[in-house]
Structure 1
């Protein structure tokens, strides 16, 4: 038994480092989502490591985690960059969203549904729009859909969609007219919330499917033109 435990004792040092790397990844994920590091930005190990006070190895592990989540990309002999999505990436993100989000609504049991998180996100978006904060409206919209996914009561689904929504925001940051993109969904979020409050699950699923199809079409159109202009 002592011989079997020796490797585990040697692995103890990894626990602290892994935990720190995950915390660093959380910080960077949030900063990327906020647009602090826009798509295409090169992430400097020296600058970020110095600012956070973490080792190069810890930072590289955090980069690896975020690369696995498709938020970063490593380019040989150039470094690590915030990923720039392709149009195909955006379409695939919406394919996943439609599969998961519609399935969550379809799988709801008997009403009433726990929609407090959805209601809070709707009010958050409304308040942000009132201030002309369209980045805030975008954030509130993500919060709305995360709350929708949370209705499934599945930690695994929440984790998968956390990465999908973080990746989606890479596309949002390339769009140059966020108001035009996000404003229509304030009313649609409120409508969807009302439908779920009324316990109308089938209608809510139909509304959501149309909502996501329209969102995909609008974002792909704007994103494709924006990326083409940047080339």
Structure 2
């Protein structure tokens, strides 16, 4: 985001702390700030054109969302979610997503079709990061069907944390690719009005994804746990 864009975007927000947290959350969700990265107060305050006090308040908000972690005498780091964090993420997702699929009044099938097309394109080019981003967009769109801005915001926060979990799977492209077609199958069920079946399929999908992530973290303990580095 360029300086002019930042200034214009910030002008639309009445709460600068919330805005700063949103910018940092979006950068983390986009993979621009990786797990374990130390967040420089001085550099970020300058780039966002906010005071250090405002930035610290934004860090506090993101810490409560488990997106960043504070370490005494070390600073603030982008979080590196562990197995317990993965379990909590999927508890939330199992409550949000199937309910939106089952009862959401604003289901947007063209949006879901477009996201699947993006994911398939990324898969054909072997670009794992784009596949992961498209899959996240798909799940955000499912929750958007609820018509609730609060639920959509909750999902965006969950997905920001999920992006950190996905970093541990960056060397496992199949983790993302085999969910692309499962997403497409969900859309076909929704297109035919079989919402209950889609919700049940989604629950099984989330269970399988959680188990795969937990298995990977257990086999690669160095990639989980507290953030390190500077």
TM-score range, shorter chain: 0.7 to 0.9
Match of 2:16 among 15, 20, 29: 20
Task: Please tell me whether the aligned partners of residues 102 and 208 of structure 1 are also in contact (alpha carbons under 8 angstroms).
Answer: yes
Which residue of the other structure, out of 55, 62, 68, is the alignment partner of 1:59? 55
Does the CA contact (< 8 Å) of 1:146 and 1:162 recur in 2? yes
Q: Tell me if structure 2 keeps the 8 A contact 1:113–1:197.
A: no
Displacement of 1:108 in angstroms is: 4.3
Task: Give the match's secondary structure for 2:36.
Answer: coil
| 1:204 aligns to 2:198 (yes or no) | yes
TM superposition shift of 1:83? 1.1
**Counterparts of 2:127 and 2:139 in 1: how far apart (Å)?**
19
Per-residue deviation at 1:113? Answer: 4.5
Q: Counterparts in 2 of 1:147-162, with a 5 A limit?
A: 147-162=141-156
Note the C-alpha offset of 1:122.
Answer: 0.6
- Equivalent pair of 2:116/2:134 in contact (CA under 8 Å): yes
Match in the other structure for 2:7: none
Alpha-carbon distance change, 38 to 144 in structure 1, aligned in 2, over 3 angstroms: same
Equivalence map 1:30-179=2 (5 Å) = 30-108=26-104, 113-179=107-173
Q: Could you list the runs of 5+ residues in structure 1 that have no partner in the other structure?
A: 1-14
Residue 185 of structure 2 is matched in structure 1 by 191
8 A contact 1:171–1:223 mirrored in 2:
no
| Residue pair 2:36, 2:77 contacting (<8 A) in 1 also | yes
CA deviation after TM superposition for structure 1 residue 94, in Å: 0.8
Which is bigger in relative contact order (C-alpha 8 A, separation at least 6)?
Answer: 2
**How many angstroms does 1:106 deviate by?**
2.4
1:229 deviates by 6.0
Structure 2 residue matching 1:36: 3-state secondary structure: coil
- Residues paired across the two proteins, number: 215
Gaps of 5+ in 2: 1-10, 226-230
RMSD across aligned C-alpha pairs, in angstroms? Answer: 2.2
TM-score by length of 2: 0.85
- Determine if contact 2:81/2:224 at 8 Å carries over to the other structure: no
Quote the Cα distance in structure 2 between the aligned partners of 1:147 and 1:41: 29
Q: Which has the larger radius of gyration?
A: 1
CA contact (8 A) 1:38 1:170 kept: yes
